């Protein structure tokens, strides 16, 4: 089956720093999505990308859909304490709403 590799697995940063993470796939996807999971909760959608090369922002978050359709990137600018959590990428193909998830990037903010 399709596999999504996410990196880094974990990040320890200070408040105010920018964050970058990425996701690569062994095969192409038509849609890329980024989710965030707070402790004890289910994942929540942050950004959806529908076209190769697309760059989309949601507040301090910016995500890009790679031109090969096999990768995606998420950047968080000026991190704040509520950014702590696990970030998942997910890929989706036309005709089926099931998502394939990456392994997640755990973000921790050091005081």
Partner 1 sequence: DAGITQSPRYKITETGRQVTLMCHQTWSHSYMFWYRQDLGHGLRLIYYSAAADITDKGEVPDGYVVSRSKTENFPLTLESATRSQTSVYFCASSAYLEAFFGQGTRLTVV
d(CA 106, CA 75): 14
Contact between 28 and partner 1 per CB under 8 A: no
d(CA 75, CA 68): 19
Contact between 42 and partner 1 per CB under 8 A: yes
Question: Given candidates 1, 59, 81, 111, which one binds partner 1 under the rule CB under 8 A?
Answer: 1
d(CA 69, CA 63): 13
Contact between 101 and partner 1 per CB under 8 A: yes
Closer CB to partner 1, residue 13 or residue 48?
A: 48
Question: Given candidates 25, 31, 64, 79, which one binds partner 1 under the rule CB under 8 A?
Answer: 31
* 72-103 CB burial, b ≥16 within 10 A, e <16: bbbebeebeeebebbbbbbbbeeeeeebbebe
For residue 83, give the DSSP letter: G
Contact between 45 and partner 1 per CB under 8 A: yes
The distance of closest approach from Cβ of residue 38 to partner 1 in the complex, given in angstroms and rounded to an integer, is 10
Question: Given candidates 13, 28, 84, 99, which one binds partner 1 under the rule CB under 8 A?
Answer: 99
Q: What is the CA radius of gyration of the chain?
A: 13
Rule CB under 8 A: which residues touch partner 1? 1, 4, 6, 31, 33, 40-45, 48, 88, 92, 97-104
């Amino acid at each position: 089956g399709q596999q999504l590799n996410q990196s880094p697995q974990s990040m320890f940063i200070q408040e105010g720093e920018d964050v970058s993470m990425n996701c690569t796939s062994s095969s192409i996807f038509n849609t890329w999505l980024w989710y965030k999971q707070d402790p004890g909760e289910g994942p929540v959608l942050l950004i959806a990308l529908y076209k190769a090369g697309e760059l989309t922002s949601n507040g301090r978050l910016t995500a890009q859909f790679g031109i090969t359709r096999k990768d995606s990137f998420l950047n968080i600018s000026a991190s704040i304490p509520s950014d702590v959590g696990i970030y998942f990428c997910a890929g989706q193909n036309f005709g089926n709403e099931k998502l394939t998830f990456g392994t997640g990037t755990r973000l921790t903010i050091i005081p």
